[in-house]
């Protein structure tokens, strides 16, 4: 068997992490929202926003992947390059499936007038006018972005340990403080939010270079990471 396929098979043995758990969370959250929508019976559309749970879960899945499989794979003499490519292929496949399901459910939600209760769980309000293929692309980019961001952060820990994570989050905190100060000092908040309001859809596509960056960082760190 191709080594990359072997890594994919290794990952997909854990069906609970990749498939069952995220959709059990989504299903449970959806049922709760649906019951509340029936109970309240209010006029007007209700946009839950709880679908964000699957994106948070995908980020968490990206952070735990290395801990669960990296030492095991190297113990089986899998090359780091093959492990990385197999993990990449698995994540792309699973997140594409998730994106298709989210897009289809959002279309079904729109077609049924919010499941008959005007509950919009899967359909994000500011994406309601986006065609199916565009919605699929946006969901896919978001899911992949969250997963590989988690993987890149986990790679820092795998390469540099706790000290590396401390340095990373310290740097993120300081950049946030400096950025907040500069925006407040030069009164840029209004211009920034105004720009975001008019270009928010383009931001999803600009995540693609960020994803490439996460992949390069993760690969560079895993090449020299200890088991």
Q: What averages of pLDDT result for each successive group of 10 residues across the chain (227 residues)?
A: 91 94 94 85 74 94 94 92 96 97 92 87 80 89 96 94 91 89 76 68 83 96 86
Residues present in the chain in total = 227
CA distance 138 to 208: 10
Predicted pLDDT of residue 39:
80
Predicted model pTM: 0.91
Residue identified by tokens 């740097």 is 171
Predicted pLDDT of residue 197:
61
Question: Of the candidates 52, 72, 222, 174, which has an alpha carbon nearest to the alpha carbon of residue 124?
Answer: 52
CA distance 62 to 97: 16
Question: Of the candidates 143, 57, 64, which has an alpha carbon nearest to the alpha carbon of residue 98?
Answer: 143
CA distance 41 to 44: 9
Predicted pLDDT of residue 132:
84
Predicted pLDDT of residue 48:
81
DSSP H or E stretch at residue 37: helix 21-40
CB atoms within 10 A of CB 214: 23
Q: Are the C-beta atoms of residues 58 and 141 closer than 8 Å to each other?
A: no
Predicted pLDDT of residue 196:
66
Domain-wise residue ranges, the chain: 3-165+208-223
């Amino acid at each position: 068997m191709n080594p990359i396929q072997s890594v994919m098979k290794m990952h997909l043995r854990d069906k609970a992490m990749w498939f069952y758990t995220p959709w059990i969370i989504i299903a449970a959250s959806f049922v709760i929202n649906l019951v509340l929508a029936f109970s309240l019976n209010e006029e007007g559309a209700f946009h839950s926003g709880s679908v964000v749970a699957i994106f948070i879960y995908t980020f968490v899945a990206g952070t735990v992947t290395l801990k669960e499989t990296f030492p095991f794979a190297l113990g089986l003499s899998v090359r780091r390059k093959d492990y990385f490519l197999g993990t990449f292929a698995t994540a792309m496949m699973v997140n594409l499936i998730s994106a298709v399901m989210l897009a289809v459910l959002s279309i079904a939600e729109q077609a049924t007038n919010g499941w008959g209760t005007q509950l919009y769980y899967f359909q994000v309000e500011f994406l309601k006018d986006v065609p199916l293929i565009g919605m699929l692309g946006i969901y896919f980019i978001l899911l992949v972005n969250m997963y590989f961001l988690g993987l890149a952060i986990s790679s820092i820990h795998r390469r540099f340990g706790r000290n590396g994570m401390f340095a990373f989050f310290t740097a993120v905190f300081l950049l946030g403080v400096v950025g907040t100060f500069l925006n407040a000092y030069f009164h840029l908040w209004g211009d920034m939010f105004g720009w975001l309001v008019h270009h928010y859809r383009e931001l999803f596509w600009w995540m693609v270079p960020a994803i490439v960056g996460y992949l390069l960082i993760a690969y560079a760190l895993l090449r020299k990471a200890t088991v």
